[in-house]
Amino acid sequence: MERNLMKGNEALAEAAIRAGCKCFFGYPITPQTELAAYMAKRMHKAGGVFLPAESEIAAINMVLGAASTGVRAMTSSSSPGISLKSEGVSYIAGSDLPAVIINVERGGPGLGGIQPSQADYWQATKALGHGDFQLLVYAPASVQEMVDYVVKAFDRADKYRMPAMILADGLLGQMMEPVSFPEINPDAYDKSGWAANGHKNARDHHIINSLYLKPDELENSIIERYKRYDIIKETETEAELYLTEDCDILVCAFGATARVVKSAVNTAREQGIKAGLFRPKTLWPFPVKEINEAAKSAKALLSVEMSMGQMIDDIKLAINCSKPVEFFGRTGGVIPTPAEVLAEIKRIGGTL
Amino acid sequence: MATTEILLAGFGGQGILFAGKILAYCGLMDNKELSWLPSYGPEMRGGTCNCSVCISDEPIGSPLVLTPDLLIVMNQPSFDKFVKDVRPGGKVFFDSSMIEANTDRTDISLFGIPSQQMADDNELKGGSNIILLGKLLKETNICSLDTMKKAIEKVVPPKKAALIPNNYKAIELGMNA
């Protein structure tokens, strides 16, 4: 397959177009702006719509509208912009609509900074909006995975009729790596049973709605949704296990941080320390089976994140607090170095 | 070959990211694993600008270059900041018409050429970065001249294709400096 050299942000956009995304609505924000710029250049040539919205809130509601008609729709932003979109994301989930949302994270809270961060883990996996709902959350760690998971996000969003998120960060968005684009079938799912598109009175109305004034009806709709979530938890988890078979220390990290950790794990191994890496590729659903498999021989776990420690909660839950879970993180846009992670591995190794 | 970690640094506007892109494409042409990571943000507007490039036979771990094997540096603040980070045995390529090489490190090789002056003398406006790439090509086995020429053809935008011969000339000047 032909290898292209692309920025992560551009690869996200190209993959979306190839995945049949016909509507992109966005509002500029560093460090994801190249994505919207790429869409501006390419989308109309691909027969789709690129619309620079007047705000993030407008953009996400345009996604809701476009998704209602059954077309593949997407928006992208970075952390503060995603907070603005949260109301619309909740409505999309409540309306059982497929859509893809991309967050190229930067430091927060507030306007924060513009350098890479992973401090939106809780937001993405626990509460991107009000109400009982989840998003599928994918955490790519390379430009190639940006492509692969955009394709998958569109597919699974259609399959389960729910929003899916790519949780990336400024480092992955800005870096260039070789990528190749797979063959994609964007029309794998029949939406004729629910899409609110034109029908010239040839069928009954399709109504897209998230308002249920009778509590039992609302409860039933949520219970139905959670049955889908159960299937997803059973079948959609993905993780990379690296040198975990005999590891004493299992280092857990996702996205760009996992690359830093991999370098540290390799150095630790060269120095005779049995370290391994567990990298969740899906953050929701969290790969519970996979982490328990990876942690089998481990005496301690270490979560490394570009935040003050968010994924660590899911790790403790997943292993039922059966082993000590330590934390190391840098935040505010600071990227941890392999040397810092190695020092933490050694510190924990010294106490085993 | 293990991973070669390259850091390029200078002022915004000197073509740091462009030169980094050429190196990245050299890796692509030679079917290597590679990564290219720019510094981004307010520092690009006239301030310092830098760019990490990794080229390897194996998948790249952290794309952020903290201890470069090769450093291309185009202004004094960047020289002062990064020369201490160069891995022992590493090589530094710098513009001696802009930079005073005040370092006491003896475990690295310094290659200073007056690239800005050379670019001016040869009517290669903005070619200082590429002249330094030529010097790097000569002093390392990063890739072949042929590969670098192909990379230049890829990186120069089609609208500016007329500038490709100038880039070749700049490479040649650097190699012979």
Say yes or no: A37 contacts chain B, CB-CB below 8 A: no
The mean per-residue pLDDT over the stretch B17-44 comes to: 90
Say yes or no: B89 contacts chain A, CB-CB below 8 A: no
Which string of DSSP letters, residue by residue, matches A185-238?
Answer: -TT-S--TTT-----TTSSPPP-------SHHHHHHHHHHHHHHHHHHHHH---
CATH (domain of A321): 3.40.50.920
Residues A320 and A208 in one domain: no
Residues A156 and A210 in one domain: yes
Contact yes or no for A114 and B41 at CB 8 A: yes
Residues A229 and A308 in one domain: no
Tell me what percent of the residues of chain A surpass a pLDDT of 90. 95
Residues A129 and A264 in one domain: no
Residues A42 and A111 in one domain: yes
pLDDT tens-digit profile of B50-63?
A: 999 999 999 999 99
Distance from CA of B21 to the nearest CA of A (A): 9
Does residue B45 surpass a pLDDT of 60?
A: no
The mean per-residue pLDDT over the stretch B44-55 comes to: 83
pLDDT, chain A, mean: 96
Say yes or no: A180 contacts chain B, CB-CB below 8 A: no
Indicate the residue of B34, B35, B41 with minimum beta-carbon distance to A115. Answer: B41
Indicate the residue of B24, B38, B64 with minimum beta-carbon distance to A5. Answer: B24
CATH (domain of B68): 3.40.920.10
Does residue B43 surpass a pLDDT of 70?
A: no
CA distance A99 to A22: 11
What is the domain count for chain A? Answer: 2
- pLDDT at position B1, please? 53
Residues A193 and A248 in one domain: no
Indicate the residue of B21, B38, B61 with minimum beta-carbon distance to A263. Answer: B61
Confidence label for A28 from pLDDT (cuts 50, 70 and 90): very high
Q: What is the pTM (predicted TM-score) of this model?
A: 0.95
Which string of DSSP letters, residue by residue, matches A251-317?
Answer: EE--HHHHHHHHHHHHHHHHTT--EEEEEESEEES--HHHHHHHTTT-SEEEEEESSSSSHHHHHHH
- pLDDT at position A72, please? 97
Residues A99 and A226 in one domain: yes
pLDDT tens-digit profile of A294-328?
A: 999 999 999 999 999 999 999 999 999 999 999 99
Residues A159 and A126 in one domain: yes
Say yes or no: A333 contacts chain B, CB-CB below 8 A: no
Residues A249 and A325 in one domain: yes
CATH (domain of A12): 3.40.50.970
pLDDT, chain B, mean: 94
Confidence label for A215 from pLDDT (cuts 50, 70 and 90): very high
Contact yes or no for A176 and B36 at CB 8 A: yes
* Structural domain of B127: 4-176
Distance from CA of A6 to the nearest CA of B (A): 9
**Which of A198, A218, A235 represents a domain boundary (last residue)?**
A235
The answer to ipTM > 0.95 is: no
Residues A120 and A222 in one domain: yes
Does residue A237 surpass a pLDDT of 80?
A: yes
Q: A40-54, B42-56, B89-103: which has the minimum mean pLDDT?
A: B42-56
- pLDDT at position A350, please? 77
Residue of B nearest to A170 (CA): B40
Say yes or no: A266 contacts chain B, CB-CB below 8 A: yes
Contact yes or no for A259 and B61 at CB 8 A: yes
Residues A224 and A128 in one domain: yes
* Structural domain of A245: 240-351
What is the domain count for chain B? Answer: 1
Residues of chain A positioned with their CB less than 8 A from the CB of B31: 3
For A208, the token pair is: 């897209």
Residue of A nearest to B62 (CA): A260
Residue of A nearest to B27 (CA): A178
Contact yes or no for B37 and A259 at CB 8 A: no
CA distance A346 to A352: 10
Residues A18 and A121 in one domain: yes
**Which of A235, A253, A276 represents a domain boundary (last residue)?**
A235
The mean per-residue pLDDT over the stretch A86-90 comes to: 98
What is the 3-state secondary structure of A99-133?
EEEEEEEECCCCCCCCCECCCCHHHHHCCCCCCCC
